[in-house]
Chain A
Amino acid sequence: MSAFAAVFVREWRLAAAGGGGPAGPAAFMLAALALVPLAIGPDPDILRAAAPGVIAFAALLASLQGAERLFGDDLSDGTLELYALSPVSLTALSVIKAGAYVSAVLWPAPLIGFVAAMAYGMDGPSAGALSLGLVLALPGLALVSGFAGALAAGVKRSGLLIALIAAPLQVPLLVFVAGAGRAALEGTGLAGANLMLAGAFSLAALALAPFGMAAALRGRLE
């Protein structure tokens, strides 16, 4: 097994097992989405109109939940220094971490998004478009959260700081995912464009964010 694969397997298993794995963000998202109707009232029309935005927003917040642990633990217990000595570069490590975070922790978000969209009264196809938008946006959300996590690694109680850093940078994803759901719901024919833009943002984040994370981590290791 190559070093890359070995590190991925290790990171994946740690992410899946530690801190409840996918259960944490999933439960958070469910709780948030269960509270929304209580906050804005049970009117089906309002709920249906609000659904895409609220669901995309809940997924964004859920993606921030685990960002603190992404690099913070490895930095405090010295694992990061061992990684720096390993043949896997810090840039590759950042890709691995974000990939493991998506595939082990965040993966329920599109499913929960789909179920919640149906429960909020969206029709099947538009709930599907919203869910697909979440699938396309998850890598971008994870990479930006990871970027903020790498910058704030080693800071005490970094959760709030990570949210403050990551949230403005994630604005485009929020707009495109919610836009995809809403466009499908209203039948404006722009759902496809929104989906492609969400995917494009994720790809751009994949091209750039790992270098930013590696640079931030290198500073921590000096």
Chain B
Amino acid sequence: MRKLRVLSAGAVTAVLALTACTTDEPADTTDEVDQAAEQPDDGGQSSEGSGDEWFVQAEYEKQLAQRDKEPEGPADKPWLQAIDPEYVETAEYAQDGNTLCFSNASVANPWRVTGWITMQQQVQVYKDSGDIGEFRVSDAGGDDNKQISDIQAFVDAGDCNAIIISPSTTATLTPAVEAACQSGVPVIVFDRGVNTDCMVTFIHPIGGYAYGADGAEFLVENLEPGSKVLALRILPGVDVLEHRWAAAQEIFADSDLEILGNEFTEGDAATIKDTVTQYLQRGEVDGIWMDAGDGAVAAVEAFEDTGNDYPVMVGEDELGFMRKWKETGMTAIAPAYSNFQWRTPIEAAVKIWNGEKVPSEWVLPQEPITEEDRDEYLDRNEGMPDLHYAKFGGEDLPGFPEAWQDR
């Protein structure tokens, strides 16, 4: 019996070793290829500066520069603004119908739920005006394969006059989006991108590098040199989140801050609180950087419950965090991944149908909320639930505020 156990333990080890050898080599070589492909706009730019495979220097610099650019378009309607737009003519996409199809990755987190409500309200406006007839939606529940099927189903059905896609994962949906483009229907991609530029317009806020940098720069400015910072992240392998962390690492590397660690929490409040508590047991934590604000309040509470001073905090424009921020008076910043972008694809679809030109890459403004404009945003969003996002941009829609309050 013992011999058999040893044998099988050996087998397990062998299996693990085998798995390791067969993948190591190709993984390293192809990642770089893939990385270059990931950034179609900078084609071929190799990563330099940081050794991180998610870091692309040119894109990083571009995003950081875009933060200071004045966007074109109406200042009171940020979802219609665009940074450095290059317009494309859309006459060729004229349609004889107005059925709008939307393939949604998921509504699995509060940020997406908030945006999804905003989008539905925007659709209602155009339905009332007659610009949009039917609005057909499929939700993939976060499953890339389902989303590919959903997109195929739209293409096969043949009666969509425009397809909006919010991809679940950047790389994996590329073939499906290309197939949708080939069907001749105007395709609009927003939020996360795909590795192709076949769509009419790709709508997104400035991006993950800018988001990560906003928070990291704030920590560098507000902490003494030598201060200790803990980074809390949701999960590995998601490009929009990895870009935030890559930018933060880049900035921390040039500073005198000490990074205690970076921990994956899956956005779970209990995990976050426990993790922060344990770091506090071991020593001081002066600042917290988060790649998304989910559970930021729990992180702050860990400091309260252990009797420590509030850290310098990087959260997000989630109201729960902003309320806590005001209540405690701590030093903080709320980077925002412009939630109002959920309105833009609808506007874009209607523009395309009307033959109006749209930016081929529609870069929306993306600004963090600071202590100066915090109270203004809190006033604007009074009565909204804690898991609502301050920059949702739907204040002028007819359903406001009930649609966002009674979810």
- State whether these chains interact: no
Report which A residues bind B (CB closer than 8 A).
Answer: none
The residues of B with any CB-CB pair to A shorter than 8 Å are none
